[in-house]
Amino acid sequence: MATVDEHVAHVASLVRPVGRETVAIDGALGRVTTDAVLSPVDLPLFRNSQMDGFAVRSADLPGTLPIAGEVSARPSDPAALEPGTAVRIMTGAVVPEGADAIVPVEDTVVDGDRVTIERVRTPGEYVRGRGSDVRQGDELLPAGLRLASRHLAVLAAAGLATVDVRALTRIAIITTGSELIAPGATPVLGQVFDSNGTALAAAVRAAGAVVASRVHVGDDNGAMLQALRDAAAAADLIITSGGISMGDYEVVRETLEPLGARVGTVAMQPGGPQATAVFEGVPVLCFPGNPVSTQLSFEVFLAPLLREAAGLPPALHETRRLVADVNSVPGKRQFLRGRAGDGGTVALVAGPSSHLVAGLAASDVLVVVPEDVTGLKAGDSVEVWHL
């Protein structure tokens, strides 16, 4: 029987790093840069005015100057400023050669074609220098950055319409079990609604990966083999639920074990039965089929890898105090469902059994009871993982 830590390491060794792709900046929110991005230009691109007002030579102030023209923020290549004159200028407009300061309109008195400015000005006042934000060749963004709106804004401002980012991990989902029917259908006795397809697809997306395909197969080894082939053609990674225990009609085990799958048990509860394989070059993670086991297997073994690849922060792990006693199974790491409470406390919300999907839905943390612990008392500290 493998330990949780051993299986975590084994899964990490199977999951390969993602590739890279070039995407439009307008589709790059939340993607992760592969490389540092250097600015192809100076920003601002040109010397421009910070205010609506007058462009002047500071040496001409104070004084009354003839107004020699106007520069708007519309594209323009203004004539150089003649000494002893002023030109009207709008915010963002090109500052004419020869001008070294902008006087805000509210600090001026205009009389016909002349403007009076009563105070001296420091050279450079209200002038945004070319390259004063960033110089051509400077780093705009570092490698490994998860792109937020302000990062995309600076790429746009520098004229970059695309950015190189990590590819998304494409995951194929195969759920198994002839007893499963789709939500919305009408069950007969013995049938249950498939929640694993929904849960895994949503968990994949929440972890920053994409669902490449999703299919349900019954107890049919031929159908399972075909599903694996289809999945391997479309995905970087295949995940399955169900069909790996020692009973009959275990399609995942029966299909993959002859191909070299590693089928075994991990010392955890829920989620003990676990298998892995490599099918046509694509790693396959096989989770047990009980809904809580499926979801916790994803959370424990795959979610951290996917979140890291997607540049998402790891789930918060912290220590809290139990509000009631807890029994546990020796030799296995237990993942109990809990709710974080006031004052650093945590309460269990459902029993330990792997079928309690409503209990899991009502929880907001997993309470982690280590392998060597058989019981904890109210007030004891325990590790919790936020969901």
Q: Which of residues 233-252 bind a copy of itself (CB under 8 A)?
A: 245-249
Q: Which is nearer to a copy of itself, 110 or 202 (CB)?
A: 202
Q: Which is nearer to a copy of itself, 161 or 281 (CB)?
A: 161
368: contact with a copy of itself by CB under 8 A: no
**Closest C-alpha among 158, 131, 149 to residue 38:** 158
Report in angstroms how near the CB of residue 303 gets to a copy of itself at its nearest. Answer: 10
Contact 209, 312 (CB under 8 A): no
Supply the DSSP symbol for 266: B
Q: Which is nearer to a copy of itself, 38 or 278 (CB)?
A: 38
Binding to a copy of itself (CB under 8 A) within 42-71 occurs at 43-46, 48, 50, 52
For residues 203 and 303, give the distance between their C-alpha atoms in angstroms, rounded to a whole number. Answer: 8
Supply the DSSP symbol for 168: P
177: contact with a copy of itself by CB under 8 A: yes
Number of residues that bind a copy of itself (CB under 8 A): 93
Report in angstroms how near the CB of residue 278 gets to a copy of itself at its nearest. Answer: 26
Binding to a copy of itself (CB under 8 A) within 93-112 occurs at 93-94
330: contact with a copy of itself by CB under 8 A: no
Q: Which is nearer to a copy of itself, 183 or 330 (CB)?
A: 183
Binding to a copy of itself (CB under 8 A) within 260-289 occurs at 289
SS3 percent helix, strand, coil of the chain, rounded to 5, is 25, 35, 45
Report in angstroms how near the CB of residue 188 gets to a copy of itself at its nearest. Answer: 6
Report in angstroms how near the CB of residue 279 gets to a copy of itself at its nearest. Answer: 24
Q: What is the DSSP string of 92-144?
A: TPBPPTT--EEEEGGG-EEETTEEEE-S---TTTTEE-TTSSB-TTSEEE-TT
Contact 283, 305 (CB under 8 A): no
**Closest C-alpha among 3, 108, 103 to residue 58:** 103
134: contact with a copy of itself by CB under 8 A: yes
Q: Which is nearer to a copy of itself, 82 or 219 (CB)?
A: 219
69 alpha carbon, distance to own chain's centre: 51
Tokens of 327: 């029994």
198: contact with a copy of itself by CB under 8 A: yes
Q: By CB under 8 A, name the one of 112, 184, 281, 330 that touches a copy of itself.
A: 184
Q: CA triplet 365, 198, 165: central angle to 5 degrees? A: 80
Report in angstroms how near the CB of residue 210 gets to a copy of itself at its nearest. Answer: 12
**Closest C-alpha among 245, 242, 243, 276 to residue 259:** 276
Q: What is the DSSP string of 196-216?
A: HHHHHHHHHHHTT-EEEEEEE
Q: By CB under 8 A, name the one of 82, 219, 220, 371 that touches a copy of itself.
A: 219
The piece of 58-66, 89-97, 256-264, 314-322 that touches a copy of itself (CB under 8 A) is 89-97
Report in angstroms how near the CB of residue 23 gets to a copy of itself at its nearest. Answer: 13
